Chains A and B, each alone.
Chain A
Amino acid sequence: MAVLEVNNLKAYFFIEAGAVKAVDDVTFALERGETLGLAGESGCGKSTTAFALLNLLPYPGRIVDGEVLLDGEDLTKKEPDEMRKIRWDEISMVFQGAMNALNPVLRIGDQIVEAIILHENITTDEAYRKMEDILEVVGVDPTRATNYPHEFSGGMKQRVMIAMALVTEPKVLIADEPTTALDVTVEAQVLKLLQSLQAKFQLSVILITHDLATIAEACDRVAIMYAGQIVELADVVSIFKERLHPYTEGLIRSVPSLLGTEKLVHIPGAPPGLVTPPSGCRFHPRCPIATDICVNQEPKFQEIKEKHFVACHHADQLWGKNVWK
């Protein structure tokens, strides 16, 4: 059963230039215990989706339409103080760039202890012990707990943020680029940590990342976003092996490999502005197989094969072919 159901979600930012349509009709479900990857171009609306799920959009952003059901309850209808309880206890989030949310004048250990005491009814001594345990779990030497944030490297701070999001043992974790600052060895540790917590607590995870290797390694299913919309959604093997959307195809082909020096695809043109996104299919100005219908008509997001959803007029053409030659 799905823990989290998102239906026709729209979230816009209202600025002088107009409405930035950062999330524009997004629908998906998160199953209990699964990891759903959310990938896509920089600026396509991944973080905004996360903020909207938590009903936490910063001004001038607003949920314009749609619902977010957590175990059947619509979070978009909650009052701010109800929401505060639900965040942390039920859904918690590691924000992108959150390592700077650490208070610069407080020691790392004290900050974690503060978070623990705020959410759990335990003594200060117990909280300190728990803090040391959790630092160890995320691979930070507990003797460094007396350091201040600026004395930690980027990767170390990021691990502290993950530790803080997990101390309350939430049902759903939204992790926005949690491993971006981490090297591959620590990243592997953190992903393994998430997996073990998942098995233990039936934790469901939305993993936002632009890193396809992380997706391949850690996710059960993947949603690919482009210009505010999900354009493809399927299990991870289908996304990598049978991708049906030209954007997904281009994205996967643009990853440099360590050993090869093969020519990389790069998708021509720039990401579209989201104030006036292109007509029809938003990808049409950059798509190598676009036709008239793509310019005039928005493709429906539909189930083309079992549990494989795509929004493309010509998805059938892509089957097993490289359209990016």
Chain B
Amino acid sequence: MTATETLIEVRNLKKYFPVRRGFVAQLVSREQIWVKAVDDISFDIRKNEVFVLAGESGCGKTTTGRVILNLTPPSDGSITYGGIDLTAITKQEMKALRPKLQIIFQDPYESLNPRLSIHDSIGEALQVNQLADTREELLQRIKMAMEDVRLFPPDDFIYRYPHMLSGGQRQRVVIARAIVTQPEFIVADEPVSMLDASIRAEILQLLKDLIKKYDLTYLYITHDLASARYIGDRIAIMYLGKIVEYGPVGRVIDNPKHQYTAILISAVPIPDPTLTHTRRAPVGEVPSPINPPSGCRFHTRCAYADEQCRLEEPPFKEVEKDHFAACWHWFDPKQWEDE
């Protein structure tokens, strides 16, 4: 297997949600309006890599992950997985693929069935797909997954229900549930957001180790650029439903070229109360994805926007090998020097 074999191909993916409106608004206009959650994005995920999708809240990360796993149909575009067009296959075929494609949901409070014990939550996927032959094997695999995610000692937890666990413990159950079937591809949506730094480092290491062990590939969704850098190979930065920059994670973070990426990076807080560094942040609010700005979508908040930015959508250009940005006026650190 070559290092750059493509596992997933996403092309011109769109996902629009219809907006329900009040009675009066409907009388005024009949035109259906849409939340353009994902608006024409394309990328490849290579086999055995951790591909990171990052960006501000509401930019469409989770929606992208859900569409890729066929949990919700796209409005337009295609997704192929190892050559199979996921948007065209039958329910039966999808069902057979399911155990190979897993998701670690963003929110462990929502995604665990409150009526299932930890044992049953983790064991369910194994049982449904007949991946454990005996009850002992089932129990053993569940306990192994629990130890992997540091739910220790397993006997203390295994017959508890989700409400008897802390937030981070629930999150680890969700991770255990996703890895127990030994999948090929995992969408990990903010998988460690509720964990303290020490356990987080261990879980990230575990996720990395599983790449070799199970021949795994990840789409890793996060707004935490530090953990993205720690675990990721390549990263795509999203803004308002579009990808604006992508490339190897170190290069994008050390040498951002899109103005939005640059400011997002400088907004990352540093854990040191004595530092009074200026944390930059994009001015104003994220515009509504119902009527996104023309041209470059970031122009309403960008200090370097000009006429061209307002009118024309910037195309992707290669910054350096494998690193692309869609911005008319590339970021240059000198910009900020005399501020």
Contacts and interface: CB of A to CB of B under 8 A. Distances in A.
A215 interface: yes
B56 interface: yes
A58 B226 contact: no
A181 interface: yes
A61 to B, nearest CB: 9
Interface stretch (B198-206, B207-215, B310-318, B321-329): B198-206
Interface size class of chain A, counting residues whose CB lies under 8 Å from the partner chain = 35 or more
Contacts of A216: 269-273
Given A266-B198, A273-B152, A154 B106 contact: yes
Interface in A53-98: 58, 96-97
Contacts of A13: 164
A179 to B, nearest CB: 10
Contacts of B272: 216, 240
Nearest to A185: B281
B108 interface: yes
B282 interface: yes
B55 A183 contact: yes
A167 interface: no
Interface string A5-48: 00000000101110000000000000000000001111100111
Interface in B248-283: 250, 253-254, 264-265, 267-274, 279, 281-282
Contact of A270 (B152, B168, B279): B152
Contacts of A152: 58
B201 A155 contact: no
Interface stretch (A124-132, A138-146, A291-299): A138-146
Contact of A42 (B19, B195, B201, B265): B195
B14 interface: no
Interface string B125-163: 000000000000000000000000010110110011001
Contact of B56 (A183, A213, A255): A183
B271 A41 contact: no
B152 A96 contact: no
Given A139-B285, A181-B190, A258-B268, A154 B57 contact: yes
Contacts of A96: 109, 167, 194
B249 to A, nearest CB: 11
A154 B107 contact: yes
A255 B57 contact: no
Nearest to B204: A256
A210 B194 contact: yes
Contacts of A156: 57-58
B166 interface: yes
Nearest to B223: A183
B271 A258 contact: no
B282 A97 contact: no
A256 B227 contact: yes
A241 B274 contact: yes
A271 B199 contact: yes
Contact of B168 (A42, A215, A240, A275): A42
Contacts of B227: 256
B196 A210 contact: yes
Contact of B267 (A185, A255, A271): A185
Contacts of B330: none
Interface string B1-43: 0000000000000000101111000000000000100000000
B88 interface: no
B196 A40 contact: yes
A236 interface: yes
B193 A180 contact: yes
B57 A258 contact: no
B110 interface: yes
A54 to B, nearest CB: 17
B268 A184 contact: yes
B197 interface: yes
A153 B57 contact: yes
A260 to B, nearest CB: 9
A156 B230 CA distance: 26
B274 to A, nearest CB: 6
A180 B107 CA distance: 11
A187 B267 CA distance: 10
**Nearest 9 pairs of A and B residues by beta carbon:** A155-B57, A42-B168, A97-B109, A270-B152, A183-B223, A213-B269, A210-B196, A153-B58, A212-B271
Given A144-B288, A259-B254, 8 more contacts: A17-B155, A147-B19, A188-B267, A213-B268, A216-B269, A240-B274, A251-B198, A256-B201
28 contacts: A40-B196, A41-B196, A41-B198, A41-B199, A42-B166, A42-B169, A48-B166, A96-B109, A96-B167, A97-B167, A100-B110, A153-B57, A155-B56, A156-B57, A156-B58, A177-B194, A181-B190, A187-B269, A214-B269, A237-B273, A251-B197, A257-B226, A258-B253, A261-B250, A264-B230, A271-B150, A273-B152, A275-B156
